[in-house]
Structure 1
Amino acid sequence: MQVVAFSTPRTIEEAHLLHSHHQLRARVFSARLGWEVDVTAGCESDNFDALRPTYVLAIAGTGQLAGCARLLPALGPTMVTDVFPALLPEGQLNAHAAMIESSRFCIDTSLGEGRGVGSVHEATLTMFAGIIEWCMSNGYTDIVTVTDLRFERILARVGWPLQ
């Protein structure tokens, strides 16, 4: 499994991966989890996708998209500050230049590759590693995200510290 990260697709392959990413988001967030998200022509997107985020994508050995996440600088508009401010202490995020928001993290659990015998899908671990590597390479030291209990359990299983 490999990881790629880009903001704007530069090749036909990256454009295809970005489209697959929006389709995966629709399948996971709308169909599987039942969230109220905007889905058009089988693709989920929102206004944060117009802000030139960085997309981190895990690609299976078959070339299929296995997982994805969206990264935005925390000093700009983010889901945590603009959609979920009630989850923040006093409704404010103590954002700084070295903080990034991760949102729309999802894994295609229907892929056979990566299931293995462990308690966490290989694509999940690959995505975590890819996000951390991208953050370190780009000067980010803190990641902020909104999670549900299901995802917090996954983070706890891999030993990811939460604040």
Structure 2
Amino acid sequence: MFQIVTPDKRHEHSDMLDEMYQMRYRIVVGEWGWDIPGIEAGYDKDQFDTDETVYVIALTATGEVVGTSRLNPTVGPHMLGELFADYCNLQPYPVGKDIWECSRFVTDRSLTTDPVEDFRFRCRIGLGLTAYCLDNGIGRLSGLTHQKFFNLVQRVWQTEPLGLPRREGDNLAWIPAVSTIDEATFDRQLDRYRNAEAIVAGYAAAWIERQRGKVA
């Protein structure tokens, strides 16, 4: 379902990681228009891809990297602490051995035309993140996310904001947040994976209804 690449397995999966960095660049720079200082053209590897970073990678049936996310310990360099501390205006960003930061949750939707398959790829990444946390005594995940994804995360993880929504140049409202990770979290994610067809159908029906409302 997913591949977890820990620091001790990095050399073994070097080709997969190269493909992942290239995929991330295509999406975050090519599609989302992010300006990331210090990275190579075509290769999104920044200062938070450290020797301690753990990656969760989703693959297609043919072995292509279709999605990924990374985990960093908050006791070391991480994005909330180094770049976005001022976003945390409701409570300080949490730091501790059992608190890790999740970032670069990215999927390449061009690799599948099936919305159910796309949904399941994202579920696999979430399952991989949660499985790693449960196996390694990580009880909370922090991170910066936009409003839409924050709303989705709340359906799976017990999540609270660390700051008020803040709009940037892309006009998205960004929210620092922290989520609790437990066995119930994994069970909810597994249920969503198993019920992907019904969930995606529900999303499609809601979207059609919204479009009808706009026309009316």
Query: Do both proteins adopt the same fold according to a TM-score greater than 0.5, normalized to the shorter chain?
Result: yes
**Normalised TM-score (structure 1):** 0.86
Identity %: 25
What residue in structure 1 maps to residue 46 of structure 2? 46
- Aligned-residue offset at 1:94: 2.6
* Structure 2 portions without partners, runs of 5+: 161-216
Mark the CA change 1:53 to 1:149 in structure 2 (over 3 Å): closer, same or farther: same
Helix, strand or coil at the partner of 2:33: coil
Letter in 2 for 1:62: T
Task: Tell me, in whole angstroms, the C-alpha distance in 2 between the residues paired with 1:162 and 1:32.
Answer: 28
More deviation, 24-33/105-114: 105-114
What is the CA RMSD across the aligned residues, in angstroms?
2.1
Count residues with an aligned counterpart. 158
- Aligned-residue offset at 1:52: 2.8
- Aligned-residue offset at 1:122: 1.1
- Give the number of the structure whose alpha-carbon radius of gyration is greater: 2
* Structure 1 portions without partners, runs of 5+: none
What residue in structure 2 maps to residue 23 of structure 1? 22
- Structure 1 segments of 4+ aligned residues over 3 angstroms from their partners: 89-92
Helix, strand or coil at the partner of 1:93: coil
- Aligned-residue offset at 1:66: 1.5
Which of 1 and 2 has higher RCO (CA within 8 Å, sep 6+)?
Answer: 1
Select the structure that is richer in helix: 2
Task: Tell me, in whole angstroms, the C-alpha distance in 2 between the residues paired with 1:126 and 1:29.
Answer: 20
Output one character per residue of 1:122-144: Cα deviation in whole Å (capped at 9) or x when no partner. 11100000000001111101000
Matched, 1:10 2:11: yes
Residues 59-98 of structure 1 mapped to structure 2, 5 A cutoff: 59-89=59-89, 92-98=92-98
Letter in 1 for 2:131: E
